[in-house]
A and B are shown apart, each in its own frame.
Chain A
Amino acid sequence: MKYLQTMNRKKLVVGLIYLGLLWFLLVMLVIPNINTVLFVFWQDGQFTLRAFERVLNSTRAMNALRNSFVLAPALSITVGFIGVSLVLITEYFAVKGSKILRLGYMTTLVYGGIILVSGYRFLYGRGGYLTNIFAAINPYFNVNWFEGFWAVLFVMTFATTGNHIIFLRNAMSAVDYQTVEAAKNMGAKQFTILRRIVLPVLIPPLLAVTIFTFMTALTATSAPLLVGGLNFQTINPMILQFSRMAGSRDLAALMAVFLGVATLILVALLSRLEKRGHYLSASKVKTSIVKQKIHNPVVNVLVHVYAYFMFVVYVAPVVLIILFSFTNSATIGRGQLSFSAFTFENYVNVFSRVSSYRPILVSVGFSLAASIAVAVVVIVVCRMITKHKNRLSTVIEYGFMIPWLLPAVLVALGLITTFNQPRWFMMNRVLTGTMIIMVIGYMIIRIPFTLRITRAAFFALDDALEDAARNLGAKSLYTFFRVILPIILPSVLAIFALNFSQLMQDFDMSVFLYHPLNMPLAVQIQTLTEEAAADNTAITFVYAVLMMVVSTVVLYLVYGRGSKVRE
C-alpha cells in the first residue's frame, strides 16, 4: 500500500513537470509562430493574400528580398575563399608566425555582430580613420565609399569567417598525414596532394559551413542597417521597419515567414549533409598533419604577404577600437592618434553617467536572467528526456528545437503579435513592451544550443552512478543534486557563460523586443553609431571593449582550458 502511495506521488510530480514543459512549448514556441502565419493569411476573420499583394507591390520589400538573395551567394563565395585560405595558412602550410596569425584571424570570435560593424564603420565609413587617411592622400576620394552592397559584403565576409576557422580547423586535424605521405611516396606533387588528398576531406564541413553562411546572410541585420545605406537594405532591416509601422505589420510578418521557410529548407539541406557524414580515417594508427613547406619561393612569398595583409585587416579594427577607447572625443573626431590624447575619461564617463551605464546594466540583467532561466528549463527537459523515454518526452525534445529552425526575427515577431493582448494561456497578461518578453525572447534563441550541449552531457552520464546512489539509499532529488548535477555542472556553467556572452552582444532579437526605457547594449551601440557624433563614438568604443573583455574571458574559460564543450 505504501509502495503504491509513493509510486502515485512520483507519477503526480512527473505529470506536473510534463504539464509545465508542454505549457512552455506550446505558449512560447508553437503558438507565437502559428500566430505570425495566421497574421499573414487571416485578417478581419477571413483568409486573405493581401500581404502577398502588398509585398509584391512594395519596391522596398522586393528590393530587400532581391538584395538578400544577392548577398547570400556572394557572401558564401567570399567567406568560402577567405575561410579556406586562412585555414590552409594556419593549419596546412608552414607559414612563419602561424600561431599569431591564427589568433588574429580568430578575433572576430571575440567581437562579432554590431561591435564589428561599428568598428569597421569607424575605420572605413565617412569620417573613418582609414577614410580620412585616403582623403588626405587624394582630395577627390569619395568619403562615402564604404556604403551599400560592397561594404556589407566586406564587413560580413570578415565577420563570419569565424565558423570556417573553427569547423575547417577541426576537419583539417582529421586529415591523416599517412595519406599525404602515401601520395608523396607515389610521386604526387604538392598541389596535387592538396587538391586530391587534403581538400576533399574538407569538403563536407565546408558545404555545411557554406549553408550556414548563406543563412547568416539571409538573416543579416546589423551590417545592412549600419553600412548598407539607403540602396542596400535586406530582409531583416526591412522587417524591422515594417514592424514599427502599425499598418505594415502584415508585411513584416509575411517577410519573416518567408525567411522562416527559407531557413527551414536550408536546415533540411544541412541535416542531409550531416547525415552523409564526414570522411573518417581508416588508418589503424592516425598520424597528425605535418605543416607543408611551400617549395616554390615566389608562391611562398605571395602566401606570406597575403597572410599578413589579412592579419592586418582582421586585427586593425580591434586594435583601433581599444586604442581610441582611451582617447578623447577630439582625437576620435580627427581620427589621428597621439600620446597626449590618451585618457581614461571615456571609461570614467561611461561608469559615472546613469544614461551611459544603464544599457550595460540592462544587458547584464536580461542576459543573466535569460541564461539562468534557459539553463534551468533545459536541465529539466534533459532530465525528463533521459529518464522517461516515451512519446511525450520525444515531442518535448523535438519541440524545444523549434527555434533552431526559425530566424530570430520570426520568433520576435511571433512574441510581439501574440502577447500584445491578454491571452488566457498567459494568465491574461500583456507582455509586449514589458521586460519579461525580452527575457523570454533571449531564452528562446538560446534554447537549441543549450539543449544540444546539455543533452550530450546528460547522455554521457553513466546510468550506474544514479543506480549506485539509489542503492545506497538516496532519493531521486538528493541523487540529482548530489550526484548528477555536480557532474554536469562544468558543462552547464560553460553553456551559461557562452549564452551570457552571446546575449550581451545580441542585436537581432533585442532590436525587436526592447523597451525604450530599457535599451540593451547592442541597440544602444547601433543608435550611437547612427548618430555618429565623436562623443557617442567614444562611448561606443568603451562598450565594445567591455563586450570584447566579456567574450574573451568566457571563451578562455570555456575553450581555453580544455573544457568538454565545443560549440
Chain B
Amino acid sequence: MISLSNIKVCFGDFVALHDISMTVEKGEFFTLLGPSGCGKTTTLRTITGFIKPEIGSVKVGDEEITHLEVEKRNIGMVFQNYALFPTMSVYENIAFGLKVKKMGKAEIKSKVDEIASKVELDQDQLGKKISQLSGGQQQRVAIARALVTSPPIICLDEPLSNLDAKLRVQLRNELKELQRKFGITTIYVTHDQEEALTLSDRIAVFNKGKIEQIGRPDEVYNQSASEFVCNFIGDINKLSKDFLDKAGAGQRGIDTNKSCYIRLERMYVNNHQENHIDSEAVVENFEYYGLYIKYTINAGGTQLKVIEKNSGASMYKMGESIKISFDPASVMQF
C-alpha cells in the first residue's frame, strides 16, 4: 500500500535516515518504534511530505509521491500534541480540511456529522472550544479531523506521549478500536514498547537512523534480530560467559563466546524442567509489584533478575539459596 525505498535524509552533515526501506500493507497497523532521535518521526514526516529525502522514493500504491507537496498528499496526520486550532470550535477544526477543498456547506456538515458520530462526539461537543474538551475528547477530534477527508493512510506521531499513565492505556484501547472500525492503514510512531506491542500488527524497530528489525510484536520480542532490539524491548538478562560456562551451556547448543540474552520470565525459580539448564543462586533483593515479584539474584558472581507470579505464598527471603533453570532454546545469541 505504502512503500519507502532506500530513503536517505540529511540535516546538514548529520544523516538522520540511512537507506530506509519498508512496506506497509493496506489496513495494517504499523508502528515505528525506537528511542528519541532514532529517526522514526523523520520517517513519518518523510511519508507526510514535511521532509524531502535526499535519495529514495515514497510510493502510495503505484503512485510516486516523493516530491509531492504536503498539501496535495492526502495523508491524514495526528500530531503529538494533536495541533488542534485553538481559535476554532471542534466543528471548525474537523471541517478545516473540507473547507480547504472548497466543498459546499451542506456536504461539509454531513461529512463532519458522520465522522463525529463514528468517533463518538455529539453535537453539543462539536460547538465547543478545544480548551473545553478532555484529553480523550481532544484525541478523538484530532482523529476525526485527520480522517474526514477520507485519506487512504493515517499517520500518528506519539499521540499518547503527553498523557498520564491511566489515560494513556484507556486511549490506547480507544485508538485500536477506532482503527479496527475504520480499517484504515495506520502508521504509528512511539518510543513506548508496551504501546507498540499492544497496538501493532507489525513493528519496525529503529536505531540511529536505521531499521533494526521489522516483524510482528511476538517476533521482535521473542526473536529479536539484534542486541539493540532485545535490549530495547522488554526487560532482559545478559548471561555472562562465566555464568554460561559454569552452567555447562556450551554443551547444550549455546555459543558462549557470543552475547547471550534471556527474558526474565523465561528463567524459573526452584522449578526444574527436563532439558533445562540449572544454576545455584542467592536472593540479593526483591521488588514487590503486586501482580508479580521481581528478584535480583546472584548466580556465581553474575547478577540476574527473575520474576515470579504472585501466588500469595510466602516470598523468597534475602540471602536465601535458590535454584534457577532455563530452556537453552529461550536464549537469544548475537
Residues of A participating in the B interface, judged by any CB pair closer than 8 Å: 3, 6, 462, 464-465, 467-475, 478, 482-483, 486-487, 489
Contacts of B73 in A (CB 8 A): 471
A464 pairs with B100, CB closer than 8 A: no
| Cα A465 to Cα B96 with chains together (Å) | 12
Residues on A with C-beta less than 8 A from B74 are 473
- Kindly state whether residue B101 has any CB partner on chain A within 8 Å: yes
CB-based nearest A residue for B73:
A471
What is the distance, in angstroms, from A3's C-beta to the closest C-beta of chain B? 5
Check A462/B69 contact, CB under 8 A, given A472-B145, A473-B101, A474-B96. no
Instruction: Give 15 CB contacts A-B under 8 Å.
Output: A462-B83, A467-B70, A467-B79, A467-B83, A468-B77, A468-B83, A471-B71, A471-B76, A471-B146, A472-B149, A473-B71, A473-B97, A473-B100, A486-B85, A487-B87
Structural contact, B70 and A471, CB atoms closer than 8 A: yes
Among A462, A478, A487, contact of B100 (Cβ-Cβ < 8 Å):
A478
A3-B69, A468-B77, A469-B96 are known contacts; what are 17 more A-B pairs with Cβ within 8 Å? Answer: A3-B67, A464-B83, A465-B85, A467-B70, A467-B83, A468-B79, A471-B71, A472-B97, A473-B71, A473-B72, A473-B97, A473-B101, A473-B149, A474-B71, A483-B87, A487-B85, A489-B87
The CA of A464 and the CA of B77, in the complex, are separated in Å by 11
Chain B: minimal CB distance from A457 (Å): 13
| Separation of A478 and B75 alpha carbons in the complex (Å) | 19
B48 contacts chain A at the CB level, 8 A cutoff: yes
**In the bound complex, what is the Cα–Cα distance between A42 and B33 (angstroms)?**
68
Is B237 part of the contact surface with A, judged by Cβ < 8 Å?
no
Closest to B80 in A: A464
CB-CB < 8 A to A478: which residues of B? 100
B79 and A464 form a contact (CB under 8 A): yes
Contact among A464, A472, A475, A483 with B81 in the assembled complex (CB-CB below 8 Å) = A464
A486/B87 in contact, CB under 8 A: yes
B102's nearest neighbour on chain A, judged by CB, is: A473
In the complex, how many angstroms separate the beta carbon of A362 from the nearest chain B beta carbon? 36
How far, in angstroms, from A475 to B86 measured CA to CA in the complex? Answer: 19
Q: Cβ of A472 and Cβ of B80 under 8 Å apart?
A: no
Looking at B71, B72, B84, B88, the one whose CB has the most chain A CB atoms below 10 A away is B71
B212 to chain A, nearest CB (A): 28
Given the known inter-chain contacts A467-B50, A471-B75, please indicate yes or no for A483 contacting B85, CB distance below 8 A.
Answer: yes
Q: What is the CA–CA distance of A271 and B75 in the complex, to the nearest angstrom? A: 47
Within 114-156 of B, Cβ neighbours of A (below 8 Å) are at 145-146, 149
- Residues in B neighbouring A489, C-beta threshold 8 A: 87
* Least distance between A37 CB and chain B CB atoms (Å): 40
B71 touches A475 (CB 8 A): yes
Given contacts A464-B80, A478-B100, contact A470 B87 (CB under 8 A): no
**What is the CA–CA distance of A465 and B88 in the complex, to the nearest angstrom?**
12
Does B68 touch A at the CB level, under 8 Å? Answer: yes
A interface: dominant SS: helix
Return chain A residues, CB-CB under 8 Å to B76.
471
B67 contacts which chain A residues (CB < 8 A)?
Answer: 3
Contacts of A467 in B (CB 8 A): 50, 70, 77, 79, 83
Shortest B83–chain A CB gap in Å is 4
The answer for the CA separation of A486 and B75 in the assembled complex, in Å, is 26
Interface hub of A464, A465, A470, A472 (most chain B Cβ within 10 A): A472
B86 contact set on A, CB distance < 8 A? 487
Q: CB-defined interface of B88-124 with A at 8 Å, one 1/0 digit per residue?
A: 1000000011001100000000000000000000000
Q: How far is the CA of A482 from the CA of B76 in the complex (A)?
A: 19
Q: How many Å from the CB of B80 to the closest CB on chain A?
A: 7
In the bound complex, CA of A486 to CA of B88 (Å): 9
Question: Min CB distance, B131 to chain A, in Å?
Answer: 13
Docked pose: A22 CA to B290 CA in angstroms: 67
Give a binary string over B178-218; 1 marks a CB under 8 Å from any A CB, 0 the rest: 00000000000000000000000000000000000000000
Query: Across the two chains, which residue of chain B brings its CB closest to A467?
Result: B50
Complex Cα distance A564/B90, Å?
A: 24
User: Could you tell me the distance between the alpha carbons of A38 and B48 in the complex, rounded to whole angstroms?
Assistant: 55
**Which B residue sits closest to A10, measured CB to CB?**
B69
Assembly CA distance A475 to B97 (angstroms): 11
Shortest Cβ distance from residue B100 to the other chain A in the assembled complex, whole angstroms: 4
Q: Are B79 and A472 neighbours in the complex by a CB distance under 8 Å?
A: no
Q: Which of B50, B69, B87, B96 contacts A472 (CB 8 A)?
A: B96
Looking across the interface, which residue of chain B has its beta carbon closest to that of A478?
B100
Shortest distance in angstroms between A317's beta carbon and chain B's nearest beta carbon? 43
Chain A residues with CB below 8 A from B71, complex form: 470-471, 473-475
B79: which A residues are within 8 A, CB to CB? Answer: 464, 467-468
Residues A462 and B149 in contact, CB atoms below 8 Å apart: no
Specify which chain B residues have a CB less than 8 angstroms from the CB of A475 in the assembled complex: 71
The distance in angstroms between the C-alpha atoms of A318 and B116, with both chains bound, is 58
Measured between beta carbons, the chain A residues less than 8 angstroms from B72 are: 473
The 10 closest A-B pairs by CB, nearest first: A472-B97, A464-B83, A486-B87, A468-B83, A473-B100, A464-B79, A470-B70, A471-B77, A3-B67, A474-B100
Residue from A469, A473, A486 with most neighbouring chain B CB atoms (10 Å):
A473
Residue of A nearest to B100 (CB): A473
A464 to B69, CA, bound (A): 17
Q: Is the CB of B100 within 8 A of A471?
A: no
CB proximity of A482 to chain B, nearest CB, Å: 8
Quote the shortest CB–CB distance from A433 to chain B (angstroms).
Answer: 44
**Chain B nearest CB, measured from A458 CB (Å):** 15
**Bound-state Cα–Cα, A489 to B85, Å:** 14
When distances are taken between beta carbons in the complex, the residues of chain B under 8 Å from A483 are: 85, 87
The smallest beta-carbon distance between A549 and chain B, in angstroms, is 30
- For the complex, what is the distance from the CA of A185 to the CA of B145, rounded to whole Å? 58
| Nearest CB in chain B: distance from A200 CB, A | 38
In the complex, per-residue mask of B150-171: 1 if CB is within 8 Å of any chain A CB, else 0: 0000000000000000000000
A490 (CB) vs chain B CBs: closest residue: B87
Which residues from B are CB-within-8-Å of A486?
85, 87-88
Taking the nearest CB of chain B, how far is it from the CB of A468, in angstroms?
4
**Contact partner, B83, options A3, A6, A465, Cβ 8 Å:** A465
Please name all residues of chain B whose beta carbon is closer than 8 Å to the beta carbon of A468 when the two chains form the complex: 77, 79, 83-85, 145
CB distance from B14 to the nearest CB of A (A): 16
Whether the pair A3, B68 counts as a contact (CB closer than 8 A) is yes
**Inter-chain contacts of A462 with B (CB < 8 A):** 81, 83
Whole-angstrom distance between the Cβ of B106 and the nearest chain A Cβ: 20
CA of A489 to CA of B86 in the docked complex: distance in angstroms? 12
A6: B residues at CB distance < 8 A: 69
Q: Chain A: which residue is nearest B79 at the CB level?
A: A464
* B145: nearest chain-A partner, CB-CB: A472
